[in-house]
Amino acid sequence: MKGITTIDGIDYNEVYYDAIVPSLERYNEQEVNDYRTLFTADDDERLKNINIPGSNKMQKLSVLQTPDNIKVARGRFQGVTEFYGTAYQYTWDWLKDAKASDLIDLQAEMLATDRRTIKETILKSMIVNPGATGSYLHADGAFWNTYFDQYEGVANPPAHKTNTFSSAHTHYVVSGAAAITLDDFTSAEQHLREHGVSGNLVCFMHSSEKKTIQDLAGWTTSGSNRSPIMDAVAIEGWVARIAGWDIVVDDSIPSGYVLFTVYDETKLGKPARFIEPNNPSFRGLLLVEGPNPNYPLIGAYYMRFMGSKIFNRSAGLAMQIAASGTYSNPSYYV
């Protein structure tokens, strides 16, 4: 039987088994997604017991005294995955005129699509307030937003040192002006630091906000004071630093919204968890073979199970740039 080949004479199975499959395996093993690395720690869908951070401090002891046991508040955390997929042009009609290099290029585009989807999934988990719909479940996640679920173990944000917080404390705010100002940066830092949040301050905004930022006092040029954020996302839109914040321009953030968060090297300090299935064989970007057993590339498609959920509820602030009103979720992510 004559094999089915690309227009330049290479058997589709040779391209599939020698190029497509190995490159996907390398991608899943070696790919380092910058937002996933910087702002999340990997997790699965199991329901887990966690410690609730508080304001415990060491006890002053006499010479022979032993310290009293500290009561550690406990809560529960669970993230869930959602089902993503894309099917693009692995059809008879497209393949009959494709070169082997076209298939390699298409694979590269699929990997780039996966990277973009991961980034937007992480950003969505930080900028969307699920409590805006009037409910907040344990599978949801958010920075402090006045909602607390039954698993969480708290009824208001935990105290930090001398700072205490009411149940109405929220990290989804309106700026109070039609354009972003320097005061928004200092206010955002206060929102995070008063909870004891450490790490490098990072601010995400749409490119439409860039000129406004450049015109603010306190701007530093992109060539000064290198930071982990600058090194990781320079190609993606690192701009400069203002008032201690690394500015990242990324149009995945809708115009009129600004996201303030932190990069922290420690797992506990990262704002979110990147959720993958409990079953290891369902993790990563998967290529599902098509129905033709002789040529599995034909009709193949890509899928991924993943999610992102806020873990450290103090470690971010979402701001809507508006003169008045209350925070409303960006329509792009709703």
Alpha-carbon span 305 to 280, nearest angstrom: 11
So what's the pLDDT on residue 1?
41
pLDDT digits over 298-311, tens only? 999 999 999 999 99
Strand intervals (E) in 73-135: 74-77, 82-86
So what's the pLDDT on residue 52?
67
How distant, in Å, are the alpha carbons of 214, 230, 248, 311 from that of 241?
A: 10, 9, 9, 26
> What mean pLDDT do residues 263-289 have?
94
The residue type of 76 is: R
- Show the tokens assigned to 270: 């990262």
So what's the pLDDT on residue 222?
46
- Inform me whether the pLDDT recorded for 97 exceeds 80: yes
pLDDT digits over 150-182, tens only? 888 888 999 888 999 999 999 999 999 999 998
So what's the pLDDT on residue 226?
57
So what's the pLDDT on residue 76?
86
Of 233 and 214, the one with more pLDDT = 214
Q: Distance between terminal CA atoms of the chain?
A: 52
Q: How many residues make up the chain in this entry?
A: 334
Query: What is the largest distance, in Å, between two alpha-carbon atoms of the chain?
Result: 89
So what's the pLDDT on residue 53?
57
Among 6-10, 36-40, 153-157, 176-180, the range scoring the smallest mean pLDDT is 153-157
pTM of the model: 0.89
Q: Tell me the helix, strand and coil percentages in the chain, rounded to 5.
A: 30, 20, 50
Query: What DSSP assignment string belongs to 167-214?
Result: TT-BSEEE-SSSS--HHHHHHHHHHHHTTT--SEEEEEE-GGGHHHHH
Crossing angle between the packed helical segments 21-30 and 100-127, to the nearest 10 degrees: 30
Alpha-carbon span 140 to 130, nearest angstrom: 7
pLDDT digits over 47-74, tens only? 888 876 555 667 788 888 888 766 555 6
pLDDT digits over 200-232, tens only? 999 999 988 888 887 776 555 544 455 655 555
- Inform me whether the pLDDT recorded for 83 exceeds 60: yes
User: Topology of 12-53+77-152+169-333 in CATH?
Assistant: phage-related protein like fold (3.90.1690)
> What mean pLDDT do residues 264-286 have?
94
Element (H, E) at 258: strand 257-263
- Inform me whether the pLDDT recorded for 89 exceeds 80: no
Of 316 and 137, the one with more pLDDT = 316
Q: Any idea of the CA torsion for 242, 244, 248, 254, to the nearest 10 degrees? A: -80
Q: What is the mean pLDDT of the chain?
A: 88
Tell me the percentage of the chain whose pLDDT exceeds 90. 59
